[in-house]
Amino acid sequence: MSGTVPATAADPVVLGLSEAIGGPPGRHASTAGHRFWSPVRVILAMALLVLAAAWVQKAPCRDAAWAHEYQYTHACYTDVFALYFAEGLDKGQVPYLDHPVEYPVLTGGVMAAVAAVTRLLDHQTPARTFFDLTALLLAASALVTGWALARLHRRRPWDAAMLALAPAMVVTAYVNWDLFAVALATTALLAWARKRLVLAGVLLGLAIAAKFYPLLFLGPMFLLCLRVGKLRAFATTAAVAGLTWFAVNEPIRHAAPESWNRFFELSRTRGVDWGTFWYGLRHVMGGRSLDAHVPAGGSPVRLNIAVAVALTLGCLCIALLTLAAPRRPRLGQLLFLVVAVFLLTGKVWSQQYVLWLIPLAVLARPRWGAFLAWQVCELAYFLAFYYELVGAARGAPVIPEWLFIFAATGRAAGLVVLCGFVVVDVLRPGNDPIRADGVEDDPIGGVLDGTEDVFTLADVAA
């Protein structure tokens, strides 16, 4: 295996930007570098600066009363602060046991643990302390994610700077507890890449117990293991993940079944949410919606069926791509595609869900140009969303509805374009930034890396 790929050699955008500081290193430049400032430490330092900026961005909502739409006009809303009161944490209530919580069990456990520490430390301004402690935990999660990304591809550690410097990180890092699940999911991929199948299963099970989206990882893993005849490895990791998830959930399900079921019930009964495809479709259809005429507490059956069909079709397309591509796709490419399809077809696409995609985008296509264009689309939607919320709170629009729809469409289009680039890379491996130099196959593939096909659709056709 060759040595570390310099950042300027890995991406043309970085190469161009390097001209501002004298251009890329020359042929005779020393590559030893500073002993302390390794690529991983530089990336973590950059991430710390961005995470500090993210805290500053949310600070107005930490220090002021939420009156007159303050949390929207300053674009600093965070569920962490709001749910400290809404979930009864300020009163010492234990999630699930004393109060139903709309999140998976491990996230509820984190909320309870931080609330308990808050009660020990601060009786004067506990809500602020709860937010600060949660932000500290989420910042640590982001650093773990950055470290894992840099370790996932040892020849290209600088790719992890895309996560560290992602613009969307500044505005969404502390909106919710998603970064905790992202860290678990990314370290699960690191364990898989190191062929530590049981550890990968444990971490993946914990990630699913924190947020459900890592469950989607099992589909691409299965298809790729099917293609190369490594189903035993998949079965090991999947079984351990299932047992881990069960071990985390079963005590709460047994003690408080109705509260435990709150997350699943909310997922079933929730209607069309802001900024989704279905929200735009309702606008196009003149206000008619698939979730119309649903009684309070009822389930929007037509909407749920439409979402399930759209997601299934998207996943079938990914399966076809996986088994028909001329060369086995990389795991990172498929993970990004399946989570993107989930968001594009889902009835909920919250602002912080971009955090799910950023590490996967780095693994799928480490190219700064398209990545930054997509991030700009996310930021544009973020701003439009808060203007929309101000209008909803005041009962009078602040921006035209078509402008919000335009921003939401732009966000989706930016993601679709990035998905298109990934699909092209799969079909034309010579375009793939990872495989183009012919040195590596699938650095995060673990048991998949460097293996030969044993099953493809071409074999079936033959």
- Note the pLDDT tens digit of each residue in 237-271: 999 999 999 999 999 999 999 999 999 999 999 99
d(CA 55, CA 310): 37
Instruction: List Cα–Cα distances, 20 to 14, 15, 161, 273, 353, in angstroms.
Output: 10, 10, 18, 43, 34
Mean of pLDDT values over 278-297: 83
Chain centroid to CA 135: how far? 17
Cβ neighbourhood burial of 2 (10 Å; 0-12, 13-18, 19+): exposed
The amino acid present at 369, given as its one-letter code, is G
Q: What is the mean pLDDT of the chain?
A: 92
194 pLDDT more than 60: yes
Count CB neighbours of 172 within 10 A.
26
Residue 389: pLDDT band (50, 70, 90) is: very high
Q: Is residue 196 part of a domain?
A: yes
Decide: 273 and 347 in contact? Cβ < 8 Å: yes
Lowest mean pLDDT segment, chosen from 2-6, 274-278, 303-307, 436-440: 2-6
Write the DSSP assignment of 131-163 as a string of letters: HHHHHHHHHHHHHHHHHHHHHHSTT-GGGGHHH
Mean of pLDDT values over 217-225: 99
Burial 137-169 (b: 16+ CB within 10 A, else e): bbbebbbbbbbbbbbbbbbbbbbbbbbbbbbbb
Alpha helices in 325-400 (DSSP H): 331-345, 354-364, 368-394
d(CA 388, CA 404): 7
**pLDDT at 122 (0 to 100):** 81
Torsion of CA 342, 348, 353, 356, to 10 degrees: -20
Neighbouring C-alpha atoms within 13 Å toward the C-beta of 351: 25
d(CA 381, CA 68): 22
- The percentage of the chain sitting over the pLDDT mark of 90, rounded to a whole number, equals 81
378 pLDDT more than 90: yes
Mean of pLDDT values over 170-174: 98
Lowest mean pLDDT segment, chosen from 87-101, 204-218, 291-305, 373-387: 291-305
d(CA 231, CA 129): 47
Instruction: List Cα–Cα distances, 444 to 91, 100, 264, 323, 434, in angstroms.
Output: 45, 38, 32, 19, 11
Q: Is residue 9 part of a domain?
A: no
Alpha helices in 194-300 (DSSP H): 197-210, 218-228, 231-255, 257-260, 262-269, 277-284
Which residues are within 8 A (CB) of 99 and not within 5 positions of it... i.e. 6 or more apart?
87, 88, 93, 259
d(CA 413, CA 446): 32
Mean of pLDDT values over 163-192: 98
Q: Is residue 28 part of a domain?
A: no
Nearest Cα residue to 436 out of 167, 156, 75, 220: 156
**pLDDT at 16 (0 to 100):** 54
Find the helix packing angle between 126-152 and 39-63, rounded to 10°: 160
90 pLDDT more than 60: yes
214 pLDDT more than 90: yes
d(CA 462, CA 414): 38
Number of domains in the chain: 1
d(CA 50, CA 43): 11
**pLDDT at 6 (0 to 100):** 65
Q: Is residue 146 part of a domain?
A: yes
**pLDDT at 12 (0 to 100):** 67
How confident is the model over 328-350, as pLDDT tens digits? 999 999 999 999 999 999 999 99
Which residues are within 8 A (CB) of 21 and not within 5 positions of it... i.e. 6 or more apart?
none
Neighbouring C-alpha atoms within 13 Å toward the C-beta of 346: 17
The amino acid present at 456, given as its one-letter code, is T
Nearest Cα residue to 367 out of 156, 147, 172, 152: 156
Q: Is residue 18 part of a domain?
A: no
Beta bridge partners of 99: 95
Decide: 5 and 155 in contact? Cβ < 8 Å: yes
**pLDDT at 18 (0 to 100):** 47
Mean of pLDDT values over 168-193: 99
- In the numeric block, the tokens 């062929």 are attached to 195
The DSSP code for 93 is P
Residue 14: pLDDT band (50, 70, 90) is: low
Q: Is residue 260 part of a domain?
A: yes
The amino acid present at 454, given as its one-letter code, is V
d(CA 255, CA 97): 7
20 pLDDT more than 60: no
Q: Is residue 15 part of a domain?
A: no
Burial 226-262 (b: 16+ CB within 10 A, else e): bbbebeebbeebbebbbebbeebbeebbeebeebbeb
The DSSP code for 399 is S
Q: Is residue 267 part of a domain?
A: yes
d(CA 211, CA 185): 10
- Domain of 338 in residue numbering reads as 35-461
Neighbouring C-alpha atoms within 13 Å toward the C-beta of 448: 24
41 pLDDT more than 50: yes
32 pLDDT more than 60: no
The DSSP code for 261 is T
